[in-house]
Amino acid sequence: MGNSKQQSTLYKINEIFYSYQAEGRWAGRAAIFIRLSGCNLRCNFCDTEFLSGIDMDVTEIMAKVHSYKAKFVLITGGEPLMQDTLELLRRLKEEDYYVALETNGTYKIGHDYFDWVTVSPKNSHIKIKKCNELRVVLDVNEYPESYGIEADVKYISPKNPTHDQEIGSHSADFFSTNVAQYCYRYVLKNPEWRLSFQTHKCIGVR
For residue 149, the model assigns a pLDDT of 96
Query: Would you say residue 5 lies in a domain?
Result: no
Domain assignment of residue 62, given as a range? 10-203
Query: Would you say residue 2 lies in a domain?
Result: no
For residue 66, the model assigns a pLDDT of 98
In this predicted model, what pLDDT tens digit does every residue of 9-57 receive, in sequence order? 899 999 999 999 989 999 999 999 999 998 766 655 555 556 667 999 9
Query: Would you say residue 179 lies in a domain?
Result: yes
For residue 166, the model assigns a pLDDT of 40
Residue segments in the chain with a per-residue pLDDT below the cut of 70: 1-7, 40-52, 161-175, 199-206
How many structural domains does the chain have? Answer: 1
Angle between helix 58-65 and helix 86-94 axes, rounded to 10 deg? 40
What CATH number is associated with residue 31? 3.20.20.70
d(CA 119, CA 103): 5
Query: Would you say residue 52 lies in a domain?
Result: yes
**138, 158 in Cβ contact below 8 A?**
yes
For residue 163, the model assigns a pLDDT of 38
E strands, 9-115, in order: 10-20, 30-36, 54-57, 72-76, 98-103
